[in-house]
Amino acid sequence: MSNSLAPGLYIVATPIGNLSDLSPRAADILARADLLAVEDSRVTARLLHHIGARRPMLPYHDHNADRVRPDLIARMTAEAVALVSDAGTPLISDPGYKLVRDAHAAGIAVTTIPGPCAAIAALTLAGLPTDRFFYLGFLPTKAKARADAIAEVAAVRATLVLYEAGPRLAATLAALGAGLGDREAAVAREISKKFEECVTGTLGQLAERYAEQPPKGELVIVVAPPGAAAPPSADDADAALAEALTRLPAAKAAGEVARRFGLDRKALYARALALKP
């Protein structure tokens, strides 16, 4: 019996921390694939060493995806190509979806080998509603673009899940608090590793904590849906309006705060005019 895999694209989830989380099926696919399309060959080489395998690797990431993709698609007609990221499930915050799209268009078989995903793992740790959630990926790094992105999801009635890097964590938590109100939230880090941690509290409390002790690496932020916290006070609404007025005209500031707190837009507009310098 042949030990080779059928030609096509195999989407393989890899561990986000503990290498023992690699499933037996994923290990088998990685050991038998003709080619691995990888985010960083050094990272994947360590995983292959863990399972005692050596396979050809080709880098596939944001910087070369458009150039490399046609060759990968051509090879999939006769070879088994496994797509992996450095950690977790491919296509989550990486360019893999275009490879899957083009494979479908070319009539190539696509198979998923599910496994670890940091966003889902953090949801299970956070103790916040999981019946509906909205994945945001990474927010923009510039303050104005970040505030705009947060305003777009302020009224979404679902738990929010996003990724962030340690040095930017406190600023992002503060921006989430300014744009969403002081909702309950959680920060999960080192998931599945020895020092796994999930810290809970309000966005304000977490922003203060991590401003004093910035963590390293990438983390997952989970934020409760609107309505999970107490109704805002007049002082809360005024503070939110004052902050919004530093970025927006009165009408847009009133609309943003109305969506965030579920308050009357006309009343907020009148208040914004009174507060505006």
Give yes or no: residues 124 and 148 share one domain. Answer: yes
Give yes or no: residues 97 and 192 share one domain. Answer: no
Q: Give domain status of residue 2, yes or no.
A: no
Q: Using one digit for the tens of pLDDT, what is the confidence trace for 106-160?
A: 999 999 999 999 999 999 999 999 999 999 999 999 999 999 999 999 999 999 9
Give yes or no: residues 73 and 151 share one domain. Answer: no
Give the strand order in the sheet containing 218-223. 133-138, 159-165, 218-223, 184-189, 197-202
Q: Using one digit for the tens of pLDDT, what is the confidence trace for 175-223?
A: 999 999 999 999 999 999 999 999 999 999 999 999 988 898 899 999 9
Give yes or no: residues 255 and 204 share one domain. Answer: no
Give yes or no: residues 107 and 135 share one domain. Answer: no
Can you tell me whether residue 80 is helix, strand or coil? strand
CA dihedral 119, 120, 121, 122 (to 10 degrees): 50
Q: Give domain status of residue 243, yes or no.
A: yes
Give yes or no: residues 248 and 266 share one domain. Answer: yes
Q: Give domain status of residue 229, yes or no.
A: no
Q: Give domain status of residue 3, yes or no.
A: no
Give yes or no: residues 54 and 104 share one domain. Answer: yes
Give yes or no: residues 13 and 103 share one domain. Answer: yes
> Whole-angstrom Cα distance, residue 160 to residue 228?
12
Q: Using one digit for the tens of pLDDT, what is the confidence trace for 162-173?
A: 999 999 999 999
Q: Give domain status of residue 181, yes or no.
A: yes
Q: Using one digit for the tens of pLDDT, what is the confidence trace for 213-258?
A: 889 889 999 999 997 555 667 888 888 888 888 888 999 888 888 8
> Whole-angstrom Cα distance, residue 69 to residue 179?
39
Percent of the chain with pLDDT over 90: 74
> Whole-angstrom Cα distance, residue 132 to residue 230?
20
Q: Give domain status of residue 104, yes or no.
A: yes
Number of folded domains that form the chain: 3
Q: Give domain status of residue 241, yes or no.
A: yes
pLDDT at 34: 97
Q: Comparing 271 with 10, which gets the higher pLDDT?
A: 10
pLDDT at 229: 52
Whether pLDDT at 1 is above 60 = no
Mean pLDDT of 87-101: 90
Give yes or no: residues 271 and 206 share one domain. Answer: no
Give yes or no: residues 45 and 138 share one domain. Answer: no
From 79, 98, 116, the end of a domain falls on 116
Element housing 135 (H / E): strand 133-138
Model pTM?
0.79
**Structural domain harbouring 159:** 119-223
From 59, 93, 116, the end of a domain falls on 116
> Whole-angstrom Cα distance, residue 51 to residue 201?
39
pLDDT at 3: 75
The CB density around residue 248, as the number of other CB atoms within 10 Å, is 20
